[in-house]
Copies of this chain bind each other. A is one copy, B any other.
Amino acid sequence: MTSANKLKILNDPIYGFITIPATLLYDLIQHPYFQRLRRIKQMGLSSLVYPGAEHTRFHHALGCMHMMQKAVQVLRFKNVEISKEEEEALYIAILLHDIGHGPFSHAMEHSIVENIHHEEISLLFMEALNEEFEGKLSLAIEIFKGNYPRKFLIQLISSQMDMDRMDYLKRDSFYSGVAEGNINSERLIQMINVHNDVLVVEEKGIYSVEKFLVARRLMYWQCYLHKTSVGAELLLSKILKRAKQLTLQGVDLPASNALKFFLENNVLKADFNKEVLNNFALLDDADIYTALKNWQFHTDKVLSYLSSAIVNRKLFHVQLVSKDDLISKLSYYQDLCKDKLEVTDELDYFVFGDKLKNQAYDLKADPIRIFTKNKEIIDVLEASDQYNLKALSEPVYKYFICYPKSIHKVG
Contacts and interface: CB of A to CB of B under 8 A. Distances in A.
Contact of A1 (B54, B195, B258, B396): B195
Contact of A78 (B1, B52, B62, B290): B1
B207 A211 contact: no
Interface string A281-305: 0101111111001100000000000
Interface in A1-42: 1-2, 4, 7, 9-13, 16-17, 30, 32, 35, 38-39, 41
B52 A47 contact: no
B175 A13 contact: yes
Contacts of A51: 10-12, 38, 56, 58-59, 62
A256 interface: yes
Contact of A52 (B55, B178, B284): B55
A50 B51 CA distance: 19
B4 A78 contact: yes
Nearest to A259: B290
A11 B177 CA distance: 5
A32 B312 contact: yes
Contacts of A179: 16, 184, 187
Contacts of A58: 51
A311 interface: yes
B202 A207 contact: no
A351 interface: no
Given A17-B190, A391-B391, A289 B39 contact: yes
Given A11-B177, A11-B178, A388 B391 contact: yes
Contacts of A62: 51
Given A190-B17, A258-B293, A211 B202 contact: no
A16 B284 contact: no
A211 B183 CA distance: 12
A211 B256 contact: no
A207 B187 contact: no
A48 B78 CA distance: 26
A11 B176 contact: yes
Contact of A388 (B13, B55, B392): B392
A80 interface: yes
Given A50-B11, A290-B256, A391-B388, A177 B214 contact: no
Contacts of A184: 179-180
A315 to B, nearest CB: 11
Interface in A269-327: 282, 284-290, 293-294, 311-313
A54 B53 CA distance: 9
A218 interface: yes
